[in-house]
């Protein structure tokens, strides 16, 4: 069995830490998370959004674990994940997966990977084959 580890995926970008305005959409086996990017700590313009597309998604879940719960040891992977507020690939997770906790889109495939994003007030976990980030500048009007 592979030991539990976390691969940090958002090295030069992150969600806005206070009010990221997360929106989740599902189309077939693709889950998209759209959120405001952090313009204070990362190279992003004020109002710029990021969209994470999870391709070949088999399941996803939106957990209300926030930063307070995580720091007090009550959140998903509390005291295991390296840092709150980041995007990770979770490797070696052996937790049993209750289908009642997830929105199921398909069976997990042989190339399925587990992804986890800690937003300020929510934790979103996705099982998918891959991910892609696109960025969009705010519209001027």
Mean pLDDT, the chain, as a whole number?
90
Three-state DSSP class for 43?
Answer: coil
Indicate if the pLDDT at residue 86 is higher than 90. Answer: yes
Q: What are the CB-based long-range contacts (under 8 Å, 24+) for 99-107?
A: 101/61, 102/59, 102/60, 102/61, 103/26, 103/59, 103/60, 103/61, 104/58, 104/59, 105/26, 105/28, 105/29, 105/31, 105/57, 105/58, 105/59, 105/60, 106/29, 106/57, 106/58, 106/59, 107/58
Indicate if the pLDDT at residue 70 is higher than 90. Answer: no
Three-state DSSP class for 89?
Answer: strand
CB neighbour list of residue 117: distance below 8 Å, 6 or more residues apart: 15, 33, 52, 86, 87, 88, 123, 124, 125
Indicate if the pLDDT at residue 78 is higher than 90. Answer: no
The per-residue pLDDT for 97 is 67
């Amino acid at each position: 069995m592979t030991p539990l580890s976390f691969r940090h995926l958002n090295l030069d970008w992150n969600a806005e830490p206070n009010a990221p305005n997360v929106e989740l959409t599902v189309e077939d086996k693709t889950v998209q998370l759209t959120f405001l990017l952090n313009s204070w700590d990362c190279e992003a313009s004020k109002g710029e959004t990021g969209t994470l597309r999870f391709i070949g998604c088999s399941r996803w879940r939106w957990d209300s674990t926030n930063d307070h719960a995580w720091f007090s040891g009550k959140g998903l992977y509390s005291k295991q994940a390296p840092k709150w507020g980041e995007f990770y690939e979770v490797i070696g997770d052996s937790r049993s997966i209750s289908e009642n906790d997830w929105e199921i889109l398909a069976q997990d495939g042989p190339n399925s990977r587990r992804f986890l994003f800690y937003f300020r007030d929510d934790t979103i976990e996705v099982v998918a084959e891959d991910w892609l980030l696109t960025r969009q500048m705010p519209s001027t009007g």
